[in-house]
Amino acid sequence: MNRKSIYRKILILVFCINLVVLLYFTYRELDNSIPDTIRIMVGKDEAFDFNLPIEGNLTASEEDIGVISVNNKKVPTNQLKLDLNKPFSLKSTETGKYVINLKLFGFLTFKQVELGVIDTQELIPCGNPIGIYVETDGVMVLGTGVINGADGLNYEPALNKLKTGDYITGINDSIIRNKEDLIKAIQECDGKDLKINIRRENKTTHFVIKPIKTADGEYKIGAWIRDNTQGIGTLTFITQEGDFGALGHGITDIDTSLIMEIEKGYLYSADIMTIVKGKNGVPGELIGLINQNEGDKIGDINKNTSQGIFGTVSNNYVTANHIKAIPVGLKQEIEIGPATILSCVDNEVKEYKIQIEKIDLNSQSPNKGMVIKITDEKLLEMTGGIVQGMSGSPIIQSGKIIGAVTHVFIQDSTKGYGTFIENMINNLEDN
């Protein structure tokens, strides 16, 4: 009997564990099926069909009553109700942001969804190669190291004070903008303690570090630093007002993989010189020449974000681009199936065939909303698929710009990720 009782308890425990695991994965599946953020265009009906046993409540302010309509019927009160078990449409006559509170089966609190109503927008898709040069906002710390002092001993004065990802912004009473400023301030200290101001995770603090004199008479604090970087990428779009978005992902430091906090940056024209073809396990690369003369500058970079770089281009560049502006396609409009990208791998921007294989409306990664596969034989022959430097190539489907290429799968160079264009244009507001 004792043995049967033990078996029974084990079976009950296993059942409970399986039930908890099942409920967890069911919850995760439901959560992933409904995006945390939904955007609709002002004045346009947007259709949705989640087919889930969930109800929603949107509470509007008194002045917003009548602004939003459901299934083409204006809501006369400030309580907007949605049944996600049936197809429905939303429309708003004004831009704005709202919060929808969702309940599972109508009574279990589930999640909040942000509803953003944005202006109807058209963008000029590009696909041009660009040279990128950015300067950090302060001097970026890559790490700390050991210094061999003039006395023959080893020191590490920055240990447990400076850390990877810090930005040195000042020493004593001097502002530090670049490596030259930093080196000069350290050399002029004459061995005295330095009050080093840093920015760490958007907070300002300081440490006192004593510089070490080396055998050659120089003073050092034992920190590896960087104040700029450059590279080749792809311009995703420009607006008719001259704003641009590119890359689809942020510019990261090559050593730390952290997104660089920039003070300023510039876009230059670039020429693709050669292509290193991608293959399974080894990503390919577009190797180009950045034309860094003043006359080759085409724009200014204002922001470096997880969704790409943003700024303004010259009026001449907007005028010279003869491609017509096309509508923006929101993520709920994207379909599994054929699409195209614009890219320049053969000295000319051309349209190449791709297949959208997966759409993640609620991706936890800001630039991995779609899985795409290159199907164009000409592009595969030239590049082997997606290669470094193609990041930012605009994705077109059904006559709309819906996203941009961001990453390549290391083990399958024909596949990669794409970001939603709506995530990119969200960064244009502050340009």
User: Are the beta carbons of 156 and 315 closer than 8 angstroms?
Assistant: no
Element (H, E) at 185: helix 179-187
Amino acid letter, residue 12: I
What one-character DSSP code corresponds to residue 34?
A: S
Q: Which of 72, 34, 74, 41 is nearest to 56 (CA)?
A: 34
> What single-letter amino acid sits at 107?
F
Instruction: Give Dmax (Cα) for the chain.
Output: 90
Q: How far apart are CA 304 and CA 261, in angstroms?
A: 7
With 0-12 / 13-18 / 19 or more C-beta atoms within 10 angstroms meaning exposed / middle / buried, residue 112 is: exposed
Q: Distance between CA atoms of 42 and 403, rounded to whole angstroms?
A: 20
Distance CA(343)–CA(345), nearest Å, equals 6
Decide if 149 contacts 106 (C-beta within 8 A): no
Pair 131, 223: CB distance under 8 Å: no
Give the tokens for residue 151: 């006395």
Query: Helix or strand or coil: residue 130?
Result: strand
Choosing from 363, 391, 393, 413, which is the catalytic residue?
391
Q: Give dist(CA 302, CA 37) in Å, integer.
A: 25
- How long, in residues, is the chain? 431
From 64, 92, 181, 249, active-site residue: 249
Q: What are phi and psi of 27, to 5 degrees?
A: -60, -45
Distances (CA, A) of 382 to 200, 347, 385, 386: 43, 12, 8, 10
Catalytic residue status for 322: no
Rg of the chain over Cα atoms, rounded to whole angstroms, equals: 27
d(C-alpha 154, C-alpha 373), whole Å: 53
Task: Please answer whether residues 42 and 117 qualify as being in contact, where contact means their C-beta atoms are separated by less than 8 angstroms.
Answer: yes
Distant-in-sequence contacts of 13-20, Cβ < 8 A, 24+ apart = none
DSSP state of 75: -
* Residue 314: Cβ within 10 Å count: 14
- Catalytic residue (choose from 64, 181, 227, 376): 376
Per the structure block, which two tokens stand in for 22? 């099942």
Catalytic residue numbers read: 249, 376, 391
